[in-house]
Structure 1
Amino acid sequence: MTEIKQYDVVIIGAGPGGMTAATYASRAELSVAMIDQGIYGGQMNNTAEVENYPGFDSIMGPDLAEKMYASSTQFGAEYTFGRVTGIELLDHNRKLVRTDMGDLEAKAVIIATGSEHTHLGVPGEEAYQGKGVSYCAVCDGAFFKGEDVAVIGGGDSAVEEGLYLANLARSVTIIHRHDQLKAQPILQERAKKNDKIKFLWHTEVQAIEGDEQEVQSLSLINNQTQALSTMSFAGVFIYIGLKPNTQAFLNLDIVDQHGWIPTDEQMATKIPGIYAIGDVRQKTLRQITTAVGDGGIAGQAVYEYVSQLND
């Protein structure tokens, strides 16, 4: 029988939040295991340039991930690969983290599994990620100053992105499969009053096209008339939803009706010793900076929680 390794804290996810939590917790001399099913850095590895992280005018996403990883492991935190399949509560101060690479036991667990953007699933979407296809206007909008861009979607997030981009781009075309937006009325009113924002109704993207370096156009279809068209765009911002990565934790009853994890200001869930940080949390702004802030708070909160258990 394989021996189960024991830690003070297991951090599930090695994005910016998870790595920051590892730094704080291990610096406080807790034993820390950080586990991820992919390479550390999370969505930073898919970001060509980061221009809104303090301390850097501009830095490549993978380079920032490397720097954070070096910081997160310098005080002894262990990093390991594995896909977490669930958490079991052994008693009031012990949790069993089950993974496909073996189980880990901890006094506290920090969930930092993030979320995934819902993709269109059309040709060119994956190939042009970071080359004109984006899922975050705040992150990438500055690269398209004076350009024509498209926003795909019709909800709050899509319209908010369109309004943000209108401050930077030459024009913004919001492409929606229905004939009216789903966004809040106040957002719709702002968008419709903005001279830079146009709308394409009953329209769906069939393909994202370009050359070897960047996006150049969208292949479109009107879902009422079946008419085909092509429109030129330098950037395509897709915002048709986010999916929290919380499937492995549904048995704990700590997620809301949409799958996000609510926490208090200390990043604590309703189960003592289980915390959630970063993009998996119920929150409004999902950025590297906010994940890092969450991670620092959780790292300190875990230290205080474990210290009380040891008293």
Structure 2
Amino acid sequence: MTERSHVKLLIIGSGPAGYTAAVYASRAMLEPMLIQGMQPGGQLTITTEVENWPGETEIQGPELMVKMEAHALAMGAEVVTDMVTRLDLSSRPFTAECDSGRVVRADAVILATGAQARWLGLPSEEKFKGFGVSACATCDGFFYRNREVIVIGGGNTAVEEALFLTKFASKVTLVHRRDSLRAEKILQNRLLNHPKVEVIWNHELSEVSGAETPMGVTGAVLRNLLDGTTRQVPADGIFVAIGHAPANELVKDQLELHNGGYVKVEPGSTRTSIPGVFAAGDLTDHVYRQAITSAGMGCMAALDAEHFLAAQDGVETVPEQLVASIA
């Protein structure tokens, strides 16, 4: 039997933005429901050391997300393990249909679905996904103990993945399209001074080489972007770490997007192109994309939602009063 419910505020997504929104909305007595999605905890659950979360010199990503979930629950949020498969924003109350058959109607919605790993789009990459090609070193690094691996990319994601893989692999080769890295300087220094790491500059992955029986990666064909020549580099695994794309599947045909698919919000707010629908975190942030900024946007979304719902009920509020009410 289909489970149906009606809530004031529905939060979709369970990363720093979603859980922070749940904490603030609960303290505002909005009795929010948070639906965790396919990856409860978001991208931080596949991150190891987090060194830039205020108050924590170092904390494991999964541990941080466990704490945030516990905080939301302690404040009174209803946290549901399910995944929204369809979201109708054509009229209020909005309607969310879940994988389990659950149907939720909500007076306001906060979207905090985050982002998903980007892929290169190579046929050989697709062929060997799960058979030596991965986008998650934390998930799969253990399988490459004393083996050689390649990481594709040059930003924070790629450098963090490469450094993590040095714990297991005998050699890590980082392949980058440019002649310098885009990662934070402290991460660059760690990578470039690591004895297990080799960097191949000005190259891109042209093809994944592999065997059919058993299915598995044996190396990579790299193309030199300066002269067009190619070279074969042996490897047992290839990790694609070229960033993430906003997870906008639920709303891409309903909300205004920009900058390659990010949900557009009004400057200085989390309000989207549909009144009563708010967006926070990596789904809307194409500039900073940090856990702490996502959490800040989750706070903003909860405040914006409280203000919106109060206005619908005919209650006069101003942002300063809202802040004071939950401080």
Shorter-chain TM-score tier: 0.7 to 0.9
User: Which of residues 157, 161, 164 in structure 1 aligns to 2:183?
Assistant: 161
Matched, 1:55 2:55: yes
Count how many residue pairs are aligned between Structure 1 and Structure 2: 275
Residues 109 and 134 (structure 1), Cα distance of their counterparts in 2 relative to 1, 3 Å cut: farther
Deviation at 1:243, TM superposition (A): 2.1
The 2-side partners of 1:69 and 1:17 are apart by 11
Q: Where does residue 13 of structure 1 map in the other structure?
A: 13
| Paired residues for 1:263-302 under 5 Å | 263-264=265-266, 265-302=268-305
**Cα distance in structure 1, aligned partners of 2:57 and 2:185:** 24
Cα distance, 1:237 vs structure 2: 7.8
Deviates more, 1:43-52 or 1:272-281: 43-52
**CA shift at 1:88, angstroms?**
1.9
2:192 corresponds in structure 1 to 170
Question: Which residue of structure 2 lines up, in the alignment, with residue 179 of structure 1?
Answer: none
Q: Is the 8 A contact 2:173 2:199 kept in 1?
A: no
2: distance between equivalents of 1:46 and 1:202?
A: 25
Cα 1:153/1:110, change in 2 over 3 Å? farther
CA distances 1:257-281 after superposition (whole Å, capped 9, x unpaired): 6221011222110111101111111
2:50 alignment partner, SS class? coil
1:31 partner amino acid = E
Is structure 2 residue 233 aligned with structure 1 residue 229?
Answer: yes
Shift of 1:18: 0.2
CA distance in 2, matches of 1:155, 1:73: 45
Q: Distance in 2 between matches of 1:24 and 1:67?
A: 15
The one-letter amino acid paired with 1:71 is: H
Distance of aligned partners of 1:251 and 1:202 in 2 relative to their CA distance in 1, 3 Å threshold:
closer
Change (3 A) 1:110 1:151: farther
Summarize the Cα distance change of 1:202–1:72 in structure 2 as closer, same or farther, 3 Å threshold: closer
Q: Structure 1's 154 and 261: CA in aligned 2 closer, same or farther, altered over 3 A?
A: farther
In the alignment, residue 96 of structure 1 is paired with which amino acid? T
The answer to whether the aligner puts 1:254 opposite 2:263 as a matched pair is no
Counterpart residue number, 1:98 = 97
Distance in 1 (alpha carbons) for counterparts of 2:239 and 2:52: 18
> What is the deviation of 1:288?
1.0
**How far 1:80 sits from its partner (Å)?**
1.1
What is the percentage of aligned positions where both structures have the same residue?
A: 28
Q: TM-score, normalised by structure 1?
A: 0.73
Once the 2 structures are TM-superposed, how far is the Cα of residue 62 of structure 1 from its aligned partner?
1.1
| RMSD (Å), alpha carbons | 3.8
Structure 1 gap ranges (5+)? 173-195, 209-217
TM-score w.r.t. the length of structure 2 is: 0.70
Structure 1 residues 171 and 219: CA distance shift in structure 2, 3 A: farther
Give, in angstroms, the shift of residue 140 of structure 1: 6.2
Matching residue within 124, 130, 137 for 1:129: 137
> Is the 1:149–1:237 contact (alpha carbons within 8 Å) kept by the matching residues of 2?
no
In the superposition, relative to structure 1, how do residues 255 and 294 fare at CA in structure 2: closer, same or farther (>3 Å)? same
Q: Which residue of 1 aligns with 2:145?
A: none
Q: For the residues of structure 2 that align with 1:139 and 1:17, how far apart are their CA atoms?
A: 23
* Equivalent position SS for 1:71: helix
Q: Which moved more, 1:289-298 or 1:39-48?
A: 39-48
Q: Contact (CA 8 Å) 1:137, 1:237: kept in 2 or not? A: no
Aligned mates of 1:143, 1:201 — CA distance in 2: 17
